[in-house]
């Protein structure tokens, strides 16, 4: 399946949130951090549903949860839950986790 289509928000000034570069996991890159997070529309990798990855959610993911900066949302909430359950069931089936 191709990577999801990502579209930046049209109302940038209304949805932007300042980035704290000191908290980002940029990995080994020469790229610099952006100044702001913006709402991003994307199509779910599994079902194709268009969702918005809010600037506030991005700030949490990148700065609080320590997510890799060049990663982005690819699944809608429903498909993320299904994916987590599939992985959990695979761990149970393999004997790595108790039901």
The set of residues, in sequence order, having a beta carbon less than 8 Å from that of 91 and lying 6+ positions away, is 97
Tens digit of each residue's pLDDT (9 = 90 or more) over 24-48:
998 888 888 889 999 988 999 999 9
* Verdict on whether the full-model pTM lies above 0.85: no
R_g of the chain computed on alpha carbons: 16
pLDDT at 87: 95
Closest residue by Cα to residue 12 from 52, 40, 50: 40
Per-residue pLDDT for 1 more than 90? Answer: no
pLDDT at 9: 58
Mean pLDDT of the chain: 87
Confidence label for 6 from pLDDT (cuts 50, 70 and 90)? low
pLDDT, greater one: 3 or 69: 69
Within 10 Å of residue 22's Cβ, how many Cβ atoms? Answer: 7
In which region does residue 66 sit, left (phi positive, over 0), alpha (psi from -120 to 50) or beta (all else)?
Answer: left
Stretch 92-96: mean pLDDT, rounded?
91
Per-residue pLDDT for 2 more than 60? Answer: no
């Amino acid at each position: 399946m191709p990577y999801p289509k990502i579209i930046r928000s049209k109302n940038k000034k209304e949805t932007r949130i300042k980035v704290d570069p000191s908290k980002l996991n940029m990995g080994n890159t020469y790229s610099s951090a952006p100044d702001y997070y913006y709402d991003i529309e994307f199509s779910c990798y599994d079902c194709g549903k268009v969702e918005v990855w809010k600037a506030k959610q991005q700030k949490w993911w990148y700065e609080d949860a320590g997510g890799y900066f060049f990663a982005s949302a690819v699944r809608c909430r429903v498909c993320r839950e299904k994916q987590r359950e599939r992985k959990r069931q695979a761990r149970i089936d393999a004997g790595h986790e108790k039901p």
